[in-house]
Amino acid sequence: MKSPLYLLLAAALTLPVAALAAGPSAHDHGTGEPQKVELNAGKKWQTDAPLRQGMSAMRKAVNHMLPLAHAGKAQAADYDALGAEVSRQVAYIVENCKLDPKADAQLHIVIGEILGGVDAAQGKEGDKARAAGVVKIAQALNTYGRHFDHSGWQSIQMPH
């Protein structure tokens, strides 16, 4: 029965994506200000095994793709495959990850950023934005690493 998973994924991710789409202006001090990931009273949020597994798989895929995208050698199929893999991992996390509600709320912000990158990488913002989508996913994964307790997490090195 896949329908509940897709409904859960849609429900779990709609709010953060909508919040990000509502207004990316960091200088907007009104109610439309995008959410920002925060630490848990100065400490990293706890994780569980499904979250670590999914995020590690995403990091591996992005680490492989980032140099190709940066060098201009990635093809549309490469970007589409990355988007599909990242989307699979997000679905796995949503289905299996069980976090404290406050940690979960922070994770939803990160997932929203990741999915925004997936859209760009898959060409939904035009072909010229595909490489920028990979970078956006990488940046979101680095945000995850700075805010969540994931033993052995290595930040993704951005090309210069």
Q: What is the pLDDT of residues 20-69, one digit of tens each?
A: 333 333 333 344 556 899 999 999 999 999 999 999 999 999 999 999 99
More reliable by pLDDT, 74 or 8: 74
Listed residue (144, 85, 70, 82) closest to 112, CA to CA:
144
Residues facing 40 on adjacent strands: 43
What amino acid occupies position 117? Answer: G
Reported confidence tier of residue 16, pLDDT bands at 50, 70, 90: very low
Q: What percent of the chain has pLDDT over 90?
A: 74
Least reliable range by pLDDT among 8-22, 33-47, 106-120, 142-156:
8-22
DSSP per residue, the chain: --HHHHHHHHHHHHHHHHHHHH---TT--STTPPP----BTTBPBP--HHHHHHHHHHHHHHHHHHHHHHTT---HHHHHHHHHHHHHHHHHHHHH----HHHHHHHHHHHHHHHHHHHHHTTTT-GGGHHHHHHHHHHHHHHHHHHB--TT--PPPPP-
Query: What pLDDT shows up at residue 14?
Result: 41
